[in-house]
């Protein structure tokens, strides 16, 4: 349970019904209690806040509100090293305190949960040490020539509970006779298209390298911002780490680097990822029109009002058409399907209209052009100004009144209530009986 929204209605005996106009399939609302529930896990690193549009209706009138949900970060990510394995080649007789490599890990969490400290396993501290804050790896003792050392370095964040990860490091001293080879990608760039509802950690594409690679070739996404969103495996398979939303960002461009300490040169390639928009948002009206009044003297094609809805999707999924669902029984109104402008279609003849039908609420739908389409609706009350010249003359509903009274009825007692109305069925304010 996220929380509860409460609406009030001054009318009595009304049942309010709540609905979400936009929730990104993360939240749902109990239509009768207004309780809002979380139906999917939230991720602070992906979206730090969510805007939810809420609508409430009593069947005739609607009202809307905006709810802002702020996501609080928790320490749910462990530090990740830039490389899956570090291979370092150094010359013999290297001086003490020399920096031989910079070990770096990143953590997408914030605050202390994203602050990293590095530690070296105790067995290796005789020959090497690491700066706990910067990750600089330094010489701490005399090394033997033509030898290889193996280290294990840990990265700890400062969150609660603490998250950590480790990486292996191989250090070769005075060994320089490797069979070096270049690294090359098979393409100048790679292009992938994915739907916005693709699940994380599902491979959607692959970058490929020319055969006969140097040993210890590794791949990584260079751009730190996008390395939090996308991941790459050792074989070049690319996948999402977190969900994406085409409404927020639909095009991504980043570099993938292939490197090896044994390569004559490393290489990088551009990767383009286009996120296809799905019709996952329904239109919603941004303003509520409560009523429209039809007055004497209005002419055909006179503008009565305009309905405006928006849709967060793009292209056809976000292109809205307007339609009258009900309430236009006599063809009085004409709604422009593209602009949402409502016009008076014809002169009103009260004589031929059933007044009760004519006062039905006008129900307007905003429908997107996605497949399948999504819609939302709003209702507006139609009022007829009672001062129509053809309908203002009063008359009695019955031709005569008849009432029996007792002979001892006191003077001043009310015998009956007479009532006159006009042709609209309404009494006049200034009539004299």
Are domains 1-72 and 189-276 of this chain identical in fold?
A: yes
- Which CATH number is 80-173 given? 2.60.40.60
pLDDT at 240: 95
The answer to whether residues 230 and 220 touch, using CB atoms and an 8 Å cutoff, is no
Structure tokens at 131: 């700066």
Compare 56 and 295 and report the one with higher pLDDT.
56
Residue range 256-285: average pLDDT? 86
Q: Which residues pair with 342 in a beta bridge?
A: 305, 335
Task: Give pLDDT tens digits for 87-146.
Answer: 888 888 888 999 998 999 999 888 898 999 999 987 777 899 999 999 999 999 998 887
pLDDT at 359: 54
Of the candidates 2, 156, 153, the residue with the CA atom closest to the CA atom of residue 75: 156
The answer to whether residues 117 and 156 touch, using CB atoms and an 8 Å cutoff, is yes
Structure tokens at 423: 């042709």
Structure tokens at 368: 């997107």
pLDDT at residue 358 above 50?
no
pLDDT at 271: 96
Confidence of residue 336 (pLDDT cuts 50, 70, 90): very high
Rounded CA-CA distance 283/311 in Å is 4
- Token pair 């790459």 in the structure block, residue: 232
The answer to whether residues 183 and 214 touch, using CB atoms and an 8 Å cutoff, is yes
pLDDT at residue 389 above 50?
no
* Least confident segment among 1-15, 371-385, 414-428: 414-428
The answer to whether residues 154 and 188 touch, using CB atoms and an 8 Å cutoff, is no
Which residues touch 226 (CB under 8 Å, ≥6 apart)?
252, 254
pLDDT at 349: 59
Of the candidates 74, 142, 70, the residue with the CA atom closest to the CA atom of residue 111: 74
Residue range 353-362: average pLDDT? 57
User: Whole-number mean pLDDT of the chain?
Assistant: 85
Domains of the chain by residue range: 1-72, 80-173, 189-276
Structure tokens at 213: 């690679």
3 state DSSP class of 355: helix
Q: Which residues of 92-120 are buried (b: 16+ CB within 10 A; e: fewer)?
A: eeeeeeeebbebbbbbbbbeebbebbbeb
Confidence of residue 352 (pLDDT cuts 50, 70, 90): low
Check the CA dihedral 347-348-353-358 and report its sign: positive
In the chain, pLDDT over 90 holds for what percent of residues?
33
Residue range 259-279: average pLDDT? 84
pLDDT at 420: 83
- Choose the most confident range, by mean pLDDT, from 9-18, 316-325, 400-409: 316-325
Confidence of residue 357 (pLDDT cuts 50, 70, 90): very low
Number of C-beta neighbours around residue 42 at 10 A: 16
Confidence of residue 415 (pLDDT cuts 50, 70, 90): confident
pLDDT at residue 306 above 60?
yes
Kindly state which CATH superfamily the domain 1-72 is placed in.
Cadherins (2.60.40.60)
pLDDT at residue 388 above 60?
no
Q: Measure Cα distances from 316 to 67, 87, 252, 309, 421 in Å.
A: 27, 52, 22, 14, 51
In the chain, pLDDT over 70 holds for what percent of residues?
90
Rounded CA-CA distance 293/356 in Å is 15
DSSP string, 292-331: EEE-TT--TT-EEEE--EE-SS-GGGG-EEEEEEES-TT-
Compare 425 and 15 and report the one with higher pLDDT.
15
Structure tokens at 94: 């290297």
Task: Give pLDDT tens digits for 213-265.
Answer: 766 788 999 888 899 899 999 889 999 999 998 888 889 999 999 887 766 67
Q: In the CATH hierarchy, which fold is given to the domain comprising 189-276? A: Immunoglobulin-like (2.60.40)
């Amino acid at each position: 349970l996220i929380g509860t929204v409460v609406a009030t209605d001054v009318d009595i005996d009304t049942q309010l019904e709540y609905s979400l106009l936009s929730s990104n399939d993360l939240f749902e609302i109990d239509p009768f209690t207004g309780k809002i529930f979380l139906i999917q896990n939230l991720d602070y690193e992906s979206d730090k806040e969510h805007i939810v549009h809420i609508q409430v209706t009593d069947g005739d009138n609607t009202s809307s509100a905006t709810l802002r949900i702020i996501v609080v970060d928790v320490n749910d990510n462990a530090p990740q090293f830039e490389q899956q394995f570090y291979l370092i080649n150094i010359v013999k007789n290297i001086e003490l305190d020399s920096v031989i490599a910079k070990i770096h890990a990143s953590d997408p969490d914030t605050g202390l949960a994203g602050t990293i400290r590095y530690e070296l396993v105790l067995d290796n501290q005789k020959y090497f040490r690491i700066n706990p804050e910067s990750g600089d790896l330094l010489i701490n003792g005399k090394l033997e020539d033509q030898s290889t050392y193996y280290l294990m370095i840990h990265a700890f964040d400062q969150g609660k509970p603490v998250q950590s990860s480790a990486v292996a490091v191989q250090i070769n001293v005075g060994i320089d006779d490797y069979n070096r080879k270049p690294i090359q990608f098979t393409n100048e760039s790679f292009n992938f298209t994915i739907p916005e509802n693709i699940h994380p950690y599902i491979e959607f594409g692959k970058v490929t390298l020319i055969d006969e690679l140097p040993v210890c070739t590794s791949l990584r996404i260079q751009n730190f911002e996008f390395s939090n969103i996308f991941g790459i495996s050792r074989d070049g398979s690319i996948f999402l780490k977190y969900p994406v939303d085409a409404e927020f960002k639909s095009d991504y461009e980043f570099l993938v680097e292939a490197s090896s300490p044994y390569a004559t040169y490393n290489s990088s390639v551009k990767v383009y990822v286009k996120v296809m928009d799905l019709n996952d948002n329904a239109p919603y009206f941004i303003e509520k029109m409560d009523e429209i009044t039809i007055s004497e003297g209005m002419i055909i094609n006179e503008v009565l009002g305009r309905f405006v809805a928006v849709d967060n999707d793009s292209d056809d999924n976000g292109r809205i058409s307007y339609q009258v669902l009900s309430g236009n029984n006599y063809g009085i109104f004409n709604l422009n399907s593209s602009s949402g402008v409502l016009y008076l279609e014809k002169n009103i003849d009260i004589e031929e209209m059933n007044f009760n039908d004519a006062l039905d609420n006008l129900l307007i739908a905003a429908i997107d052009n996605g497949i399948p389409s999504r819609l939302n609706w709003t209702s507006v009350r139609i009022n007829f100004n009672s001062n129509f010249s053809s309908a203002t003359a009063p008359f009695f509903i019955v031709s005569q009144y008849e009432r029996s009274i007792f002979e001892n009825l006191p003077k001043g007692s009310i015998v009956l209530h007479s009532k006159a109305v006009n042709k609209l069925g309404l009494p006049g304010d200034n009539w004299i009986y």
